[in-house]
A and B are shown apart, each in its own frame.
Chain A
Protein backbone atom coordinates (compact mmCIF):
# COMPACT_ATOMS: atom_id res chain seq x y z
CA UNK A 1 0.00 0.00 0.00
CA UNK A 2 2.77 2.42 0.86
CA UNK A 3 4.34 2.03 -2.58
CA UNK A 4 1.09 3.40 -3.99
CA UNK A 5 1.81 6.59 -2.12
CA UNK A 6 5.27 6.78 -3.64
CA UNK A 7 4.52 5.76 -7.20
CA UNK A 8 0.78 6.25 -7.82
CA UNK A 9 -0.09 5.06 -11.29
CA UNK A 10 -1.04 7.94 -13.54
CA UNK A 11 -1.46 10.44 -10.73
CA UNK A 12 -0.73 14.09 -11.29
CA UNK A 13 2.40 15.08 -9.32
CA UNK A 14 0.46 17.76 -7.41
CA UNK A 15 -2.16 15.19 -6.38
CA UNK A 16 0.64 12.88 -5.40
CA UNK A 17 2.20 15.67 -3.35
CA UNK A 18 -1.09 16.25 -1.58
CA UNK A 19 -1.27 12.62 -0.50
CA UNK A 20 2.28 12.69 0.80
CA UNK A 21 1.66 15.97 2.61
CA UNK A 22 -1.34 14.54 4.34
CA UNK A 23 0.59 11.43 5.28
CA UNK A 24 3.38 13.63 6.69
CA UNK A 25 0.86 15.51 8.73
CA UNK A 26 -0.45 12.30 10.28
CA UNK A 27 3.09 11.03 10.74
CA UNK A 28 3.98 14.15 12.70
CA UNK A 29 0.90 13.81 14.88
CA UNK A 30 1.74 10.18 15.54
CA UNK A 31 5.23 11.15 16.64
CA UNK A 32 3.83 13.74 19.02
CA UNK A 33 5.03 16.70 16.98
CA UNK A 34 2.64 19.54 17.61
CA UNK A 35 3.61 21.59 14.59
CA UNK A 36 4.98 20.49 11.23
CA UNK A 37 5.73 22.77 8.32
CA UNK A 38 5.80 21.21 4.88
CA UNK A 39 7.20 23.07 1.90
CA UNK A 40 4.63 22.21 -0.74
CA UNK A 41 6.86 23.42 -3.56
CA UNK A 42 9.61 21.08 -2.39
CA UNK A 43 7.06 18.30 -2.20
CA UNK A 44 5.99 19.05 -5.76
CA UNK A 45 9.60 18.82 -6.89
CA UNK A 46 10.03 15.53 -5.03
CA UNK A 47 6.95 14.05 -6.69
CA UNK A 48 8.01 15.34 -10.08
CA UNK A 49 11.35 13.60 -9.65
CA UNK A 50 9.67 10.38 -8.54
CA UNK A 51 7.49 10.53 -11.65
CA UNK A 52 10.42 11.27 -13.91
CA UNK A 53 10.72 8.74 -16.71
CA UNK A 54 14.46 8.19 -16.28
CA UNK A 55 14.11 6.03 -13.18
CA UNK A 56 17.56 4.57 -12.53
CA UNK A 57 16.70 1.05 -13.64
CA UNK A 58 16.89 -0.32 -17.15
CA UNK A 59 13.22 -1.42 -17.21
CA UNK A 60 11.86 1.58 -15.32
CA UNK A 61 10.25 1.95 -11.93
CA UNK A 62 7.47 -0.61 -12.44
CA UNK A 63 9.87 -3.50 -12.93
CA UNK A 64 12.53 -2.42 -10.49
CA UNK A 65 13.14 -4.08 -7.14
CA UNK A 66 11.53 -2.63 -4.02
CA UNK A 67 15.03 -1.65 -2.87
CA UNK A 68 15.49 0.55 -5.92
CA UNK A 69 12.05 2.06 -5.47
CA UNK A 70 12.70 3.09 -1.89
CA UNK A 71 16.27 4.22 -2.58
CA UNK A 72 15.00 6.48 -5.33
CA UNK A 73 12.45 7.99 -2.95
CA UNK A 74 14.98 8.28 -0.14
CA UNK A 75 17.56 10.25 -2.09
CA UNK A 76 15.06 12.67 -3.65
CA UNK A 77 13.24 13.21 -0.36
CA UNK A 78 16.45 14.03 1.45
CA UNK A 79 17.57 16.30 -1.38
CA UNK A 80 14.34 18.33 -1.64
CA UNK A 81 13.81 18.65 2.13
CA UNK A 82 9.99 18.89 2.07
CA UNK A 83 9.73 19.08 5.87
CA UNK A 84 11.15 22.41 6.95
CA UNK A 85 10.35 22.33 10.66
CA UNK A 86 12.73 20.45 12.92
CA UNK A 87 11.81 17.68 15.34
CA UNK A 88 12.23 18.98 18.86
CA UNK A 89 14.67 17.24 21.22
CA UNK A 90 11.91 16.52 23.72
CA UNK A 91 10.24 14.37 21.05
CA UNK A 92 13.17 12.45 19.61
CA UNK A 93 16.16 13.23 21.79
CA UNK A 94 18.98 15.70 21.54
CA UNK A 95 21.39 13.49 19.62
CA UNK A 96 19.35 13.04 16.46
CA UNK A 97 17.66 16.44 16.49
CA UNK A 98 20.91 18.36 16.28
CA UNK A 99 21.84 16.68 13.01
CA UNK A 100 21.22 18.68 9.82
CA UNK A 101 18.12 17.66 7.85
CA UNK A 102 17.27 15.00 10.45
CA UNK A 103 13.52 15.37 9.91
CA UNK A 104 13.67 14.51 6.21
CA UNK A 105 16.20 11.70 6.56
CA UNK A 106 14.15 10.17 9.34
CA UNK A 107 10.92 10.51 7.40
CA UNK A 108 12.56 8.98 4.33
CA UNK A 109 13.91 6.12 6.43
CA UNK A 110 10.53 5.59 8.07
CA UNK A 111 8.65 5.51 4.80
CA UNK A 112 11.22 3.36 3.05
CA UNK A 113 11.17 0.69 5.74
CA UNK A 114 7.39 0.80 5.76
CA UNK A 115 7.33 0.17 2.01
CA UNK A 116 9.74 -2.72 2.28
CA UNK A 117 7.74 -4.42 5.01
CA UNK A 118 5.70 -7.03 3.16
CA UNK A 119 7.24 -6.27 -0.23
CA UNK A 120 7.87 -9.15 -2.61
CA UNK A 121 11.21 -9.83 -4.23
CA UNK A 122 11.15 -11.48 -7.65
CA UNK A 123 14.54 -13.10 -7.56
CA UNK A 124 16.49 -13.94 -10.68
CA UNK A 125 16.43 -17.62 -9.73
CA UNK A 126 12.65 -17.57 -10.12
CA UNK A 127 11.85 -17.57 -6.42
CA UNK A 128 9.49 -15.06 -4.92
CA UNK A 129 10.32 -13.95 -1.41
CA UNK A 130 8.22 -11.73 0.81
CA UNK A 131 9.95 -9.48 3.31
CA UNK A 132 7.85 -10.52 6.27
CA UNK A 133 9.85 -8.68 8.92
CA UNK A 134 10.23 -4.97 9.14
CA UNK A 135 13.68 -3.42 9.24
CA UNK A 136 14.65 -2.28 12.72
CA UNK A 137 17.88 -0.56 13.66
CA UNK A 138 19.20 0.79 16.92
CA UNK A 139 18.98 4.42 17.95
CA UNK A 140 22.74 4.59 17.54
CA UNK A 141 22.54 3.31 13.96
CA UNK A 142 19.66 5.67 13.19
CA UNK A 143 21.79 8.62 14.29
CA UNK A 144 24.63 7.37 12.11
CA UNK A 145 22.29 6.98 9.16
CA UNK A 146 20.89 10.49 9.61
CA UNK A 147 24.39 11.88 9.98
CA UNK A 148 25.61 10.05 6.88
CA UNK A 149 22.73 10.94 4.58
CA UNK A 150 21.83 14.45 5.73
CA UNK A 151 23.15 15.63 2.39
CA UNK A 152 22.88 13.53 -0.74
CA UNK A 153 23.56 13.74 -4.44
CA UNK A 154 20.80 11.51 -5.85
CA UNK A 155 22.63 10.03 -8.82
CA UNK A 156 25.71 9.44 -6.68
CA UNK A 157 23.97 8.01 -3.62
CA UNK A 158 21.15 6.04 -5.23
CA UNK A 159 23.12 2.79 -5.45
CA UNK A 160 24.73 2.94 -1.98
CA UNK A 161 21.32 3.66 -0.42
CA UNK A 162 19.79 0.83 -2.41
CA UNK A 163 22.49 -1.53 -1.17
CA UNK A 164 22.02 -0.32 2.40
CA UNK A 165 18.27 -1.00 2.39
CA UNK A 166 18.85 -4.34 0.71
CA UNK A 167 21.27 -5.45 3.40
CA UNK A 168 19.10 -4.15 6.24
CA UNK A 169 16.13 -6.03 4.78
CA UNK A 170 18.22 -9.20 4.45
CA UNK A 171 19.31 -8.88 8.07
CA UNK A 172 15.67 -8.70 9.16
CA UNK A 173 14.67 -11.48 6.74
CA UNK A 174 17.40 -14.13 6.67
CA UNK A 175 15.46 -16.22 4.14
CA UNK A 176 15.47 -13.44 1.54
CA UNK A 177 19.03 -13.12 0.18
CA UNK A 178 20.70 -15.25 -2.45
CA UNK A 179 23.07 -17.87 -1.09
CA UNK A 180 25.76 -16.02 0.81
CA UNK A 181 29.08 -17.48 -0.26
CA UNK A 182 31.56 -14.62 -0.14
Chain B
Protein backbone atom coordinates (compact mmCIF):
# COMPACT_ATOMS: atom_id res chain seq x y z
CA UNK B 1 0.00 0.00 0.00
CA UNK B 2 1.52 3.29 -1.02
CA UNK B 3 0.64 6.50 0.70
CA UNK B 4 1.31 10.18 0.50
CA UNK B 5 0.47 10.59 4.13
CA UNK B 6 2.40 8.18 6.33
CA UNK B 7 0.84 9.59 9.50
CA UNK B 8 -2.50 8.19 8.45
CA UNK B 9 -0.97 4.82 7.79
CA UNK B 10 0.69 4.86 11.18
CA UNK B 11 -2.67 5.55 12.66
CA UNK B 12 -4.19 2.63 10.86
CA UNK B 13 -1.65 -0.07 11.24
CA UNK B 14 0.63 0.78 14.11
CA UNK B 15 -0.15 -0.28 17.63
CA UNK B 16 2.01 2.55 18.86
CA UNK B 17 4.07 5.22 17.28
CA UNK B 18 6.22 8.15 18.15
CA UNK B 19 5.15 11.27 16.39
CA UNK B 20 6.95 14.56 16.14
CA UNK B 21 4.62 17.49 16.56
CA UNK B 22 6.53 20.75 16.38
CA UNK B 23 9.45 20.39 18.74
CA UNK B 24 7.62 18.08 21.12
CA UNK B 25 7.92 14.33 21.07
CA UNK B 26 4.54 12.81 21.70
CA UNK B 27 4.02 9.15 22.36
CA UNK B 28 0.75 7.97 20.93
CA UNK B 29 -0.74 4.57 21.50
CA UNK B 30 -3.54 3.57 19.20
CA UNK B 31 -5.27 0.24 18.95
CA UNK B 32 -5.86 -1.36 15.58
CA UNK B 33 -9.32 -0.27 14.44
CA UNK B 34 -12.24 -2.65 14.47
CA UNK B 35 -13.56 -3.92 11.14
CA UNK B 36 -15.60 -1.28 9.40
CA UNK B 37 -19.27 -2.18 9.24
CA UNK B 38 -21.07 -1.28 6.08
CA UNK B 39 -23.75 -2.57 3.75
CA UNK B 40 -23.50 -4.05 0.31
CA UNK B 41 -25.62 -3.07 -2.70
CA UNK B 42 -28.44 -5.30 -1.47
CA UNK B 43 -28.48 -3.61 1.90
CA UNK B 44 -27.03 -6.65 3.66
CA UNK B 45 -24.56 -6.14 6.44
CA UNK B 46 -21.01 -6.64 5.32
CA UNK B 47 -17.64 -6.12 6.88
CA UNK B 48 -14.84 -4.32 5.15
CA UNK B 49 -11.70 -5.61 6.75
CA UNK B 50 -9.41 -4.13 4.18
CA UNK B 51 -9.05 -0.44 4.90
CA UNK B 52 -7.75 0.09 1.44
CA UNK B 53 -11.39 -0.10 0.37
CA UNK B 54 -12.29 3.00 2.36
CA UNK B 55 -9.44 4.87 0.73
CA UNK B 56 -10.48 3.61 -2.68
CA UNK B 57 -14.02 4.75 -1.95
CA UNK B 58 -12.78 8.27 -1.27
CA UNK B 59 -10.67 8.22 -4.39
CA UNK B 60 -13.51 7.06 -6.59
CA UNK B 61 -15.93 9.59 -5.09
CA UNK B 62 -13.59 12.49 -5.85
CA UNK B 63 -12.88 11.62 -9.45
CA UNK B 64 -15.93 13.46 -10.73
CA UNK B 65 -14.73 16.65 -9.06
CA UNK B 66 -11.27 16.24 -10.49
CA UNK B 67 -12.71 16.28 -14.00
CA UNK B 68 -15.01 19.23 -13.26
CA UNK B 69 -12.23 21.28 -11.70
CA UNK B 70 -9.92 20.48 -14.61
CA UNK B 71 -12.52 21.90 -16.98
CA UNK B 72 -12.89 24.99 -14.81
CA UNK B 73 -9.14 25.57 -14.64
CA UNK B 74 -8.77 25.07 -18.39
CA UNK B 75 -11.59 27.50 -19.13
CA UNK B 76 -9.83 30.26 -17.16
CA UNK B 77 -6.51 29.86 -18.97
Contacts and interface: CB of A to CB of B under 8 A. Distances in A.
Interface of A: 1, 4-5, 8-9, 11-12, 14-15, 17-19, 21-32, 34-38, 40, 89-94, 110, 114, 139
A110 B4 contact: no
A92 B38 CA distance: 31
Given A1-B39, A14-B30, A19-B33, A31 B11 contact: no
Q: Is the interface of B mostly helix, strand, loop or mixed?
A: helix
8 contacts: A4-B38, A12-B34, A19-B51, A27-B62, A28-B62, A29-B59, A30-B60, A40-B8
Given A19-B33, A38-B5, A38-B8, A25 B58 contact: yes
Q: Is the interface of A mostly helix, strand, loop or mixed?
A: helix
A29 B62 CA distance: 8
Contact of A19 (B36, B39, B63, B73): B36
Contacts of A14: 30-31
A16 to B, nearest CB: 9
Contacts of B69: 31, 91-93
Interface residues of B, number: 34
Given A18-B12, A18-B33, A110 B62 contact: yes
B70 to A, nearest CB: 8
A22 B4 CA distance: 11
Contact of A114 (B7, B37, B38, B61): B61
Nearest to B71: A139
Given A30-B62, A93-B73, A23 B38 contact: no
Contacts of A1: 38-39, 57
A25 B55 CA distance: 6
Residue of A9, A19, A89, A91 with most chain B CB atoms under a 10 A cut-off? A19
B61 A93 contact: no
